[in-house]
Each structure stands twice: as structure tokens, then as C-alpha cells.
Structure 1
Amino acid sequence: MRKKRILLLSEGFGAGHTQAAHALAVSLRQLYPEFQTRVLELGSFLHPTLAPLIFNAYRKTVSSQPKLYGKLYRFQYKKSLNPLTQLALHQIFYRQTSEVIRHLKPDIIVCTHPFPNVVVSRLKRSGLSIPLVTVVTDYDLHGTWVDPQVNKYLISTNDVKSKLLKRGVPEQKIEVTGIPVHPSFWQRHDRSNIREHFGLKAMPTVLVMGGGWGLVGDHSLFDDMVKWSDQIQFVFCLGSNEKALQKMSETPGFQHENVRLMGFTKEIDKLMEISHLLITKPGGITCTEGLAKGIPMLFYKPIPGQEEENMQYFTENGYGEQIMSRETINRRFHMLLEEYEDVGKHEVDRPITPTDMTNPYPPAGYSKAIAELLM
């Protein structure tokens, strides 16, 4: 008997959607060896030349004109895409999706981005009989996620569930599972080994992320941060932002022995393990990874729309705080040093956290929800 096939469809508008798809795929394979998974960024797969141009234009718009992006987000907030827009999206960008599905023969389709979700929903209205699971990757619900053809929604919180119910989605189609993150974020590692691996010291450590989306644009903020380098160790993860990496590496303040500049890495889970504070844009996946690791967060300039909603959830629940000014950073750095002084001798065994950070949803919940549809 052949393995059950799970096709996970994402899109390249930000890394989080695809990270969630891969995290879910890994979790499913670990828990259910009888399942076979395949992750595709559908637009990139169908249009390998055109898609990167579109994604790059999107990134530039979000980074340089966040207010415009916020207006577009709010304009469509309570509405699904209308049939004409769905048709245009399908004809221009996703016309060959049905052929991909026919070739791969999945038993279930999981979408972690609204666009493939819209396209598969449209195919289901035309006769496709494969179950469709929609994984909402933020702590909010935009209208483009919602479609009557979805068989099951896997969502982050009860607040998102309430929004789905208000939009007429039957309760039996909704399951609050939390957002998928890679299983490695739920594991605990030996911190001494991690520090040795990265050449880092056992001292108060701040992890800074978000370079690929413009966080490094405010160099004055970073300049103020690294003034603390004699007392605090900084790890800047700049993703694929090579220009920022080069510029910062040539700046004297970032040449301190307690400042580490890094490009793209697949070991964020390990860096979070040995960090005491995370400074980041409030993307749904990064925030959930920080929650899994129990690391307190400071949020920098959320993009109007889903990042604002993510930040609201995490600040209201005591998991993080928005950076309102340099005073916010200075105050939190003082707190970090005081807490480290109190518990530093034991910090290898437990993280320093000013709040009780516990994820209310079991890490395997999203995998089990999908498995139940295949049993």
C-alpha cells in the first residue's frame, strides 16, 4: 500500500509561509512515517523566472512604502477575493496548478499562503475532490484566507477562531493548533556546546533578526545598541541582506569582540537557545519560534497589517514589548543585566525570562489535525 501523500503549497511573499510549510512537513514525517510530504512554493515552481521579480517588487513595496501596504491590507481585510480577481490570479499566474496536482496525486492539500489557497479552492468548486487544509500563519485573520471550499482551518488562537466564526465558517472546520514551527524549536540543547560551536561567550546575549526586511535601515538604533557591547553580547542575523552585512562589518562599533554579524543560517533555534532577548520584526513564524524557546522579545517597526496584529497579541499576553524609543532598549538592557547578575551562575540550565512564557498549544497538534483527515 502506497504512503499517503500530503502536498503543502506556499508562496514566496516573505519567508514565514514557506517555513511553516516545511516545519509542518518535518513534523508530519516524524510523527507519521507512513506519510509522504512535498512542499512547493507554487508560483516559483510554475514561473521560476517571473516569480522572483514579483517577490522582489513586493519586498521593496513593503519595506519602502509600509503605509501603502497597510492600506491595501485593510481594504481587503474583511473580504475574500472576488470571483473576477480569483479568475485573473488563476489565469495569469496559476493556470497549470491542476496539472501539478494531477501529476503529484496528493491525498490532501495544505496551504500556508492565501494565494494557493484561493487557487485550490477555485479548483474544488470546479470538481477537485481532494481535502483542503488552510494553515493561517499569523495571529490575525485576513479575508483572503477564507473560502467555503476549505475543509479545515488550523489557526493560532481563539481570537482568530472567533473571527472565522463571525465570517460564517462552521465551528467543526476550525481547530486551534498554534502556528507550525520546526520541531527543533521545541527541543532543548546543551548551551555550552552551542556557544563553542558559534564561538560565543557565556554572558548576557541579545539576538537581533529581521535584516532581510529592512530592520537594519535604522543604523542609529543599532549604533546605540552596540554601545553596550562591553556588557552584552550581540548576534545580528541579517539573512540574505549582504549589503547590510558588508556595511556593518566595516563600521567600527560592530567590530567589537562581543558583536557577531551573521548572514543566512538554518540554526536560529540554537541561537535562540543561548540568547536572553530577541529583537525582531513581529512576523508570525519568528514570534512563534521565540515563544517555543521561551525568549522575551522586543518588536521593531511592525508593518501595518498582520505584523501589527501579531505584535498586539504578543504584547497583550506579556511575551514582548514594542520598541517605542531608545529608552525602551536601554531599560530592557538594564533589566537583562540585573537578571543575569541574579541567576547568571545557573543560566546554562534555564533561560532568563521576565514573564511566564508558555505556549498554550501542543507542538504536535497541527500534525495530528491533518493526520485525522487522512485516517
Structure 2
Amino acid sequence: MNVLFLSISLGSGHIRAAEALQKFVVQKYPKSKTLIVDTFKYINPLIHTVVVDGYLNIVKYVPEIYGGLYRMSEHIKNIDRMSRGFSNLLTPKIHRLIQSFKPSIIVCTHPFPLQMIAHLKKHYNLDVPSIAIVTDFVNHPFWFQNNIEAYIVAHDYIKRDMIECGISEDRIFTYGLPVAPEFLKSIPKEQARKELSLENTLTVLLMGGSLGIGDIENTFKSFAKCKRDIQIIAVAGKNTALKKRLDSLAASFPMPVKIFGYTDSIPMLMDASDFIVTKPGAMTISEALVKRLPALIISPIPGQEERNEQFLVNSGTAVRIYKNTKIDSVLCQVYDNKLRYKQMKEIAGNLANPDSGRNILSLIEKLVNDNEKGLFKYSFNAF
């Protein structure tokens, strides 16, 4: 089985979804060929730099502009057409890659490469079954392609929304985002804290994804003002400047603090924690849900992350905190209230999809087998 993953590194979540599913494929099919492609970087490094750096600068310095563009793209069809047109212009190199790699199936974890695959199916008779993994807790028109065999979404409400938008129900699967196998293994909280040389007390895990994005520093300071026994685990990711600032601040903090840069120990850090404090990126949240870890949400990127936040808060497993929020008051409401905290953990468990990777792999097997039997006619029309 040859599996081609097409993604884009706008943040780390899209690539991480591909990497997580890749691990399940390789575990079951060790002789399989798998390839994860950062699509824009593969097609043209300059385009990748312009798009990715532009995106990161906008969300960092003028996030309200990104939010406005996101909301416009949901309702103004010309923006969707422009996105499709841009993607279509970039298809030739991906087409050559597909002809060379000869995938049994294509998995897209970002809508831009998905648009390319839909274009190749319509205009170049591409007959490879394809799956889209919607990497947020919200739907968006950029994902709408009716010549894609399957959509993986995180929740039934997204499925209902997609059906209303014209995607046929039999192609939408509420399997959830795939999380890496290491997140499916847990150890007792006390053991995790001992292995990390932490105290056995109320613990919060503060992180901003692999890029260390969000108001991490001010949130760090806010937790330092707590008048209770608490310890902080902070993960700066690849943001080395942030790590240096946190290390400097931590020296004067009255409570135990553990600072990490980029680390592969996130599963254990989650096991050791009572809360995760993070921006609501869908992959980080999906991993926390599997760990039944309630979330305190900070710094959502306007657009999809604001929608993710709304979903999590409305579901009851998260609380939004702001720059001037009194952390002691929040913890009094959601941690000291044992019934509330228990419910947040239970809701997290109910929203989690620990079997997502295995379920998606089973679907891949079925689609590949059906295609080999000639059961697909590939007669879809593009939106």
C-alpha cells in the first residue's frame, strides 16, 4: 500500500495529523510506502515562504485582518474561486509526483492540496481514491469538493453542517482527528510527576504549539500571581526567544516551574497535568481530549480557532481566560468545584476520538480495495 499525504505547514497541526496517521499505517503495514509532502514547499520554496511567513506575520501582528479575511472567505464565493484558481495553477508538479509515487490513496490534511487533487480528478482523470481530514472543529467552504471519496471530521455537528452545504452524507465520517499512538498510552499522574521531577500538586501545562504562538509570556506571569499551591509546566516549542524569557522570569517565581523548548514529551506532560492552557489549535486540543485534560483557552487566532474555542466552551470542557483574568478565581470555579472539574474531564473523554487513527486506516483499506475492484466511477462534478 502506497499512501501519499499532502499537507501544508501553516502552523504544525496539519502536518502532525498526517504524521499521526502515517504511524498507524506503518505499524500495520511496515513494508508500505508512505510520503508526507509539505505541498507549497515541494512545489516552490518561494511560494511556501511567502504564504507561510505572510500567514505567521499576519496572525502575530494583525490577527484581526486574518479574522476578517477568514470570515469573508466563508461567505464571498469569489474568494473561494480565487483559492481554487491559485491551487489549480500549482497542480502540474503534484501531478508528476503522483505519477511517480503511484499512491494507492491520497490523504489531504489541508484544503489547498485538496483543491489540487479535486482539480486533477476532474480535468486529468486522476483515479486515486482520496481522503480529506478536516483539521478543525469547524467547517469551511475551502474544503467543499464533491469528487473526494471521504471526509474525516471531528464531530457530528460538523457533519450536519457539511451535509447542509451539499456534501453527501455517505462520504462524511465522524472519526475525529488522528492523534499519534503515543498519546493513547497513559501513566498515573503521580508517576508522571515523579519521572519529571515535579511535585505532586495542582499542575498546569502552558503551551502554544510547536511555534510557541500566543500570549504565553503574560499568561505565565498571571499564573505566577496565584495564591495557592501550584506548579507550572511551560512549553515554548521552537520559539527559542520565548524560552529564554520564560527561563528568566521563572527564576523569581515562588512556585515550582519547569520550562521546555521543543519536546517529544508532550504525552507525559499531559499525564502530569490537571489543566492545559493553550490556544485552541485542533490537534493540540484533540490530544488533550484523549488525555481527558480540561482546557483553559488563550489567544485563539481569529477565524477557525475562535470557532474551535466556541465549540469547546459550549461543550463544557474548556474555559476562556483573558489577559486580565484572575487565575485564582478561575481555578476556584473550575477546580475547587469538584463536580465541575469532574464534568469537564468526562466531557473531554466523550469528545475524544482515541480510535480515530485505526478507524481511518480501516476506511483507507476499504477505499483501496474498492478501487482495485473497479467500484469507483469517478463521475463527480467539482463545486
- TM-score, normalised with respect to structure 1: 0.87
How much does 1:222 deviate? 2.4
Alignment of 1:261-276 (within 5 A): 261-276=259-274
Q: Which runs of no fewer than 5 residues in structure 1 stay unpaired?
A: 343-350
Q: Which amino acid aligns with 1:359?
A: N
- In the other structure, the counterpart of 2:163 is 165
- 2:130 pairs with 1:136: no
- CA apart distance, 1:352: 6.9
Alpha-carbon separation, structure 2, partners of 1:252 and 1:275: 18
Name 1:311's counterpart in structure 2.
309
Report deviation, 1:53: 4.5
Cα gap change, 1:24 to 1:253, in 2 (>3 Å): same
- Counterpart AA for 2:350: N
| CA apart distance, 1:302 | 1.5
Q: Structure 1's 134 and 309: CA in aligned 2 closer, same or farther, altered over 3 A?
A: same
Equivalent residue, structure 2, for 1:149 = 147
- The residue that corresponds to 2:94 in the other structure is 97
Could you report, residue by residue, the CA deviation over 1:195-236 in whole angstroms, capped at 9, with x for unpaired residues? 3443222221100011635423652x4222113387111011
Q: Which moved more, 1:13-22 or 1:296-305?
A: 296-305
Q: How far does the alpha carbon of each residue in 1:114-134 deviate from its partner, in whole angstroms, 9 at most, with x for none?
A: 111111111111211111111
Q: What secondary structure does 1:39 align onto?
A: strand
1:95 deviates by: 3.6
Q: CA contact under 8 A between 1:226 and 1:254: conserved in structure 2?
A: no
Query: What is the correspondence of 1:1-375 to structure 2 with a 5 Å cutoff?
Result: 4-33=1-30, 35-48=32-45, 50-78=47-75, 79=77, 82=80, 85-91=83-89, 93-126=90-123, 127-210=125-208, 212=211, 214-216=213-215, 219=218, 221-228=219-226, 231-251=229-249, 258-324=256-322, 326-327=324-325, 329-334=327-332, 338=336, 354-356=344-346, 357-360=348-351, 361=353, 362-363=355-356, 364-375=358-369
Distance (whole Å) between structure 2 residues aligned to residue 262 and residue 352 of structure 1: 28
**SS of match in other structure, 1:251:** helix
Q: 2: CA distance between counterparts of 1:135 and 1:222?
A: 33
- Cα offsets for 1:146-193 (capped at 9, x unmatched): 112211111111111111111111111111111111121121125455
Assess if the C-alpha contact under 8 Å between 1:80 and 1:144 holds in 2.
Answer: no
**Aligned partners of 2:8 and 2:110 also within 8 Å:** yes
Identity value in percent: 28
Q: In 2, are the aligned partners of 1:283 and 1:310 still within 8 Å (CA)?
A: yes
Bigger mean CA deviation after superposition, 122-131 or 70-79 = 70-79
Counterparts of 1:74 and 1:336, CA distance in 2: 32
Contact 2:129 2:368 in 1 (8 A): no
Q: Which runs of 5+ in 2 are unaligned?
A: 370-383
| Aligned mates of 1:296, 1:304 — CA distance in 2 | 22
User: What amino acid is aligned across from residue 102 of structure 1 in structure 2?
Assistant: Q
Aligned CA distance change for structure 1 residues 216 and 312 (closer, same or farther; 3 Å): closer
The letter for the 1-side match of 2:173 is: E
SS in 2 for 1:239: coil
Do the aligned residues in 2 keep the contact of 1:11 with 1:43 (CA within 8 Å)? yes
AA of the residue aligned to 1:74:
R
- After TM superposition, the score normalised by the length of structure 2 is 0.86
Q: Shift in Å at residue 359 of structure 1?
A: 3.5
Residues 1:124 and 1:222: Cα distance change in structure 2 (over 3 Å): same
- 1:215 aligned counterpart, secondary structure: coil
Moved more, 178-187 or 133-142: 178-187
Instruction: Measure, in 2, the Cα distance between the counterparts of 1:150 and 1:202.
Output: 49
Separation (CA, whole Å) in 1 of partners of 2:12 and 2:184: 20
Any idea what SS the aligned residue of 2:74 has?
Answer: coil
Q: CA deviation at 1:239?
A: 0.9
CA distance in structure 1 between the aligned counterparts of 2:323 and 2:61, rounded to whole angstroms: 21
* Aligned-partner residue type, residue 110 of structure 2: H
